[in-house]
Amino acid sequence: MKVYTKSAAIYEVLKADILNGRLRPGEKLVASRLAEAYGVSVIPVREALSRLKAEGLVTIVPHTGAYVTEIDLEDLKDLYPIRGVLEGFAARLACGRIGEEDFGRLEGLIEEMDRVIKEGRFPEMGGLNYEFHMTIYKASGNRHLVSLIDELWQKTARVRSVFALVPERAKEANEEHKEILSRLKDGDAKRVEELIIQQDEKALQVLMGYLEGNGMISPKFVDSKGVQCLK
C-alpha cells in the first residue's frame, strides 16, 4: 500500500488539476490559500509546488508567486503532426486485430464520455479520451509503436485539459470517437487511419485558437513591480 506524505498528496491533487484543466494556464497559485484549503501548513504546499516546477507544470516568478505554466504552442505544433502519423499507423494496424473485449471497452468509454459531457464534468474527459485511444493503439500488437505514442502523449499531457478549456470540443470529439469505432468494426483500416489523423489536427486547431485568442493573464507578462499585464 502506497503511503503519501502531505506534500506528495498535495502534489498529486495539484498535478491532476493542472493536467485536466481545473487549474488553467497562467492561473496564480497562492501557497497560503492552498494550505488553508488543504488544512496544512505552507511547507508541504511549497514542496509540492517545487516538484511541479521541476516538471515544468508550475512557473515560479521571484517576488511575485507561482503560476500554472503556460502551454507551449510551438511544442504542440511540432509534436502533434508526429503523434497523428504514429497514431494513424497504429490504428490501421489495429484493424483486423482488435477483439470483442476491446470493442466492449471502447463502447463503455464512449458511453461514459457521453455521461460526463451531459453532466458538465469536462475535466474528466481527458483521462477517458486517453484510455479510448490507447485501447486502440495497444490492439496494434506493436509494443514499440505503442511506447512511442505513449511517450508523445506524456509530452503533450497538458493538452488533456482541452475539454475543460474548450468544453464544446468534448461533444464533437466523442462523435468522432463513435465514427472511429464504427469504422474499426467495419475493418476499414484506411478510413480509421484518416479519422485518427484528422482528430489530432482538429485538437491542435482548437488549442491554437484558445491559446492565441484567450487573453489570459500569464506570469510571462508580470512587470518589475509584480503587476499582472494582459497578453
Interval 39-65: pLDDT, tens? 899 999 999 999 999 988 899 998 889
Q: What sign results for the dihedral spanned by CA atoms 79, 84, 85, 87?
A: positive
pLDDT by residue (tens digit) across 185-208? 999 999 999 999 999 999 999 988
For residues 103 and 124, state if they share a domain. Answer: yes
For residues 165 and 93, state if they share a domain. Answer: yes
Between 161 and 218, residue with greater pLDDT: 161
For residues 12 and 37, state if they share a domain. Answer: yes
For residues 62 and 137, state if they share a domain. Answer: no
Q: Please report whether residue 1 resides in a domain.
A: no
For residues 88 and 147, state if they share a domain. Answer: yes
Q: Is residue 169 classed exposed, middle or buried when 0-12, 13-18 and 19+ CB atoms within 10 A define those classes?
A: buried
Q: Are strands 65-68 and 28-29 parallel, antiparallel or unpaired?
A: antiparallel
Q: Are strands 28-29 and 217-222 parallel, antiparallel or unpaired?
A: unpaired
* Alpha helices for 2-72 (secondary structure H): 6-19, 31-38, 42-54
For residues 137 and 194, state if they share a domain. Answer: yes
CATH code, domain with 63: 1.10.10.10
Tell me what pLDDT residue 214 has.
61
Asked if residue 217 has pLDDT above 60, the reply is no
For residues 32 and 77, state if they share a domain. Answer: no
For residues 101 and 24, state if they share a domain. Answer: no
For residues 80 and 29, state if they share a domain. Answer: no
Q: List the domain range (segments joined by +) for residue 177.
A: 73-213
Total number of domains constituting the chain? 2
Q: Please report whether residue 31 resides in a domain.
A: yes
For residue 105, give the C-alpha cell.
Answer: 471497452
pLDDT by residue (tens digit) across 91-105? 999 998 999 999 999
For residues 84 and 141, state if they share a domain. Answer: yes
